Structure 1
Amino acid sequence: MLLACGWLGNLASIALSLPIPGSVVGMLLLLLFLVVYGGVPKGLAKISAQLLYLLPLLFLPAAVGIFFFRGLALSDWLALLTAIIAGTLISIAICALLLKKMLQRTGTDKHE
């Protein structure tokens, strides 16, 4: 199912000349399927758990790639670090707000 959604997303992105990457379209297709299905099938949950377990391995090439940027000027490093720190803080804040909203919807938020 994951491969099919990824493939269909790439196909749709190319066929419709969308400015969105095919992988994003595939994830939207997967989300649509899960909403229509009403949950996550057991097989998909099992495979997804394994992929999440291995997710840090996907970040190793990016971390190793940093070593090729040794020639950047100090101002470039400052901009890069600022973007990384700001992006991380924004991501954490958005995740926290979404979690709070979801907990309020389910009635499990004890700090209301």
Structure 2
Amino acid sequence: MIAALTLLLVFQLAGEVITRALDLPIPGPVLGMGLFFGYLMLRGGPSEDLRKTAGGLLQHLSLLFIPAGTGIVLYGELIAAEWLPIVAALVGSTALAIVVTALVLNALVKRRRTGADSEGGARP
């Protein structure tokens, strides 16, 4: 478990270092997650130890929402004063995410159909 946690933190650190060194506009942990995904793809997937550790972390994922809840309590007055832009941003970003997901799914389904047609048979 310690090795798996260390691996996760090393990729997060690598993302932070690269982001700060290159002055990239994305968060370091996001870049680290992308690097980690690439590592897992090259490796053929996660090890059993990494699977168990990730499962344990996911079981306690709700603990990560405590800082967000604290922020809401701390900045309640500001949120109340700026509720309209916040709601607009939430609704707009959710709608955009749904539209982009639908477009990507549609493109992938068409691509899969085209691939099945060119192979001369239907895929399951």
TM-score, normalised by the number of residues in structure 2: 0.64
Q: How does 1:98-109 map to 2 (within 5 A)?
A: none
User: Is the helix fraction higher in 1 or 2?
Assistant: 2
Pick the aligned partner of 2:57 from 51, 67, 70: 51
Residues 93 and 43 of structure 1: is their aligned pair in 2 closer, same or farther, counting only changes over 3 Å? Answer: farther
Q: Give the secondary-structure state (helix, strand or coil) at the position aligned to 1:72.
A: helix
User: 2:90 maps to what in 1?
Assistant: 84
Q: Give the secondary-structure state (helix, strand or coil) at the position aligned to 2:26.
A: coil
Answer yes or no: is 1:31 the counterpart of 2:37.
yes
Distance in 1 of aligned mates of 2:56 and 2:15: 22
RMSD of equivalent CA atoms: 2.9
**How far did residue 82 of structure 1 move?**
3.0
Give the gaps of 5 or more residues in structure 2: 1-6, 113-122
Greater mean alpha carbon deviation, residues 59-68 or residues 82-91: 82-91
Find the structure with the greater CA-based Rg.
Answer: 2
Amino acid in structure 1 at the alignment position of 2:72: I
Give aligned-pair identity as a percent: 37
Higher relative contact order (CA 8 A, sep 6+): 2
Residues 30 and 91 of structure 1: is their aligned pair in 2 closer, same or farther, counting only changes over 3 Å? Answer: same
**How far did residue 74 of structure 1 move?**
5.7
Residues 71-98 of structure 1: per-residue CA shift (max 9 Å, x gap): 2386611221232344345546666777
User: 2:22 maps to what in 1?
Assistant: 16
Give the gaps of 5 or more residues in structure 1: none
Equivalent residues, number: 106
Amino acid in structure 2 at the alignment position of 1:40: P
